[in-house]
Amino acid sequence: MSRSELERELRTHHDAAYGWALSCCRFDSERAKDVLQETYLRVLDGRARYGGASAFRTWLFGVVRNVARALHRRAALHALLTLRFAEAPAEIAAGDPGDDRALRAALLTISTRQREVLMLVFYNGLSIQEAAQALNISLGSARQHYERGKAALRRRLEDAGVAP
Amino acid sequence: MTDLRDDDALARRFAALRGADARRTPSFERTLADATRPRRAIRRPLVFALAGTAAAAIVAAFWLVQPAAPPVRGPSDPVATALPQEMPTDFLLETASLDATRDAPALNAPVNDEVPFL
- Per-residue pLDDT, averaged over B58-67, amounts to 82
Q: Lowest mean pLDDT of A35-44, A73-82, A120-129, name the range.
A: A73-82
Own/partner contacts of A12-18, CB < 8 Å, gap of 24 or more, are A13/A56, A13/A57, A13/A60, A14/B25, A14/B28, A14/B31, A15/B22, A15/B25, A16/A57, A16/A61, A16/A124, A17/A60, A17/A61, A17/A64, A18/B21, A18/B25, A18/B26, A18/B31
Sort out which chain A residues have CB atoms less than 8 A from B22's CB and list them: 15, 19
Looking at the partner chain, which of A18, A37, A122 has a beta carbon nearest the beta carbon of B11?
Answer: A122
Query: d(Cα A123, Cα A27) in Å, to the nearest integer?
Result: 13
Q: What three-state secondary structure class fits B28?
A: helix
Per-residue pLDDT averaged across A141-150, rounded?
93
Is B21 within 8 Å of A38 when comparing Cβ atoms?
Answer: no
pLDDT at A92 over 60: no
SS3 readout for B51-101: HHHHHHHHHHHHHHHCCCCCCCCCCCCHHHHHCCCCCCCHHHHCCCCHHHH
Average confidence (pLDDT) over A10-19: 91
| Of residues B42 and A144, more confidently modeled | A144
A81 contacts on B by Cβ (under 8 Å): 46, 49-50, 53
Give chain A positions within 8 Å (CB) of B14.
103, 118-119, 122-123
With 80 as the cut, is the pLDDT of residue A1 above it? Answer: no
B6, B45, B53 member nearest A154 (Cβ): B6
Burial B27-46 (b: 16+ CB within 10 A, else e): ebeebbebbeeeeeeeeeee
Q: Is A164 a residue whose pLDDT tops 70? A: no
A103 close to A157: Cβ distance less than 8 angstroms:
yes
Q: What is the mean pLDDT of residues A18-34?
A: 88
Say what the ipTM of the complex is: 0.77
pLDDT given at position B116? 62
- Cβ neighbors of B50 (< 8 A, separation 6 or more) are A81
The predicted model gives B18-33 an average pLDDT of 86
Confidence of residue B4 (pLDDT cuts 50, 70, 90): very low
Q: What is the pLDDT of residue B1?
A: 42
pTM for this entry: 0.63
pLDDT at B74 over 80: no
Mean pLDDT to the nearest integer, B5-33: 85
Q: What is the pLDDT of residue B53?
A: 86
DSSP state of B104: S
**Listed ranges A40-44, A95-99, B39-43, B48-52; the one with the highest mean pLDDT:** A40-44
Confidence band (pLDDT; 50, 70, 90) for A40?
A: very high
CA distance B66 to A29: 51
According to the model, what pLDDT value does residue A52 have?
81
Instruction: For residue A161, name the pLDDT band (cuts at 50, 70, 90).
Output: confident
| pLDDT over 70 (residue B32) | yes
Given a cut of 70, is residue A95 above it in pLDDT?
no
Query: For residue range A52-66, what is the model confidence (pLDDT) as tens digits?
Result: 888 898 899 999 999
Can you tell me the distance from the alpha carbon of B10 to that of B3, in angstroms, rounded to the nearest whole number?
11
